[in-house]
Homo-oligomer: A and B are copies of this chain.
Amino acid sequence: MSKTIDFYYDYASPASYLAWTQIYKIAEKHGATVVRKPALLGGIFKSAGNQAPMNVPAKGRWLNQDIQRFVERYGIDFKMNSAFPINTIYLMRGALYARREGFIEAYDKACFEAIWVNDKNMGDPAVVTQVMLDAGLDPKGIGASMQDPEIKKELFEVTAEAVDNGLFGMPAFIVDGVLHWGQDRMDFVEEAIS
C-alpha cells in the first residue's frame, strides 16, 4: 500500500525550502504521496516553548554554513534572504487557499523560490503581487484569501494540529504516525516509506 508523508513547512524557513527541493523526488521514487501542511513556524515555536535557532548567535552562524553544505550536496540554487526573517503569516494563509483551490504546487514554487533563490522580500505585498503575476497566478484572489476569516481559522487549526502531533519546529514529516524533524532527517523518511 502506498505510504503518505505529511509535510509541514513554512516559507520563512530556509530548511523548509531545502526539504521542499527534495521530498517530492524521494516520495516519487517510492510511490509515496506527500500531503502538504502549510503551517506557521512562529506559532509552533510559541506553543512548543521553542525558539528559532538563529536566536542563538553561534547556532545561527553554524546554521548558515550548514545550510550551504546541504545546498552543495543537493546541487540546488540558494541565496540567504536579505529581509530574513520574513513574517509569512499572509503567505501561509495564501498557501491554504491555494491548496483548497488546487494550485498549491505552483504557489509553493513561487513562494519558496522568490524567498530562497531570488532574494525577494515577500513580506512586502507589492512584491507578492508581482511574484504571483510572474508565476501566472491570480494576485487578487490570493490577496483576498489572506484576510478571509475561514482561511485564518484554517491556518490556526493546521498549526495547532502540528503541535498536537509533536512538532516543535519545521520542516517536519509524519509517516505512519512517527515524527521526523528537520531537512536532515529525510533519510529516515525515505526508510519509513521504503
Residues of A at the B interface (CB closer than 8 Å) are: 48-50, 55-59, 61-62, 65-66, 69, 163, 166-169, 178-179, 181, 184-185, 188
Contact = CB atoms under 8 A, between A and B. Distances in A.
Copy tally for this chain in the complex stands at 2
Contact of A178 (B55, B59, B65): B65
7 contacts: A49-B57, A59-B181, A62-B168, A62-B179, A62-B181, A66-B185, A184-B184
Contacts of A66: 181, 185
Contact of A59 (B56, B59, B168): B168
A56 B61 contact: no
A61 B166 contact: yes
Contacts of A48: 56-59
Please name the 6 residue pairs, one residue from A and one from B, whose CB atoms are nearest each other, closest first. A58-B168, A59-B168, A50-B56, A48-B58, A58-B166, A62-B181
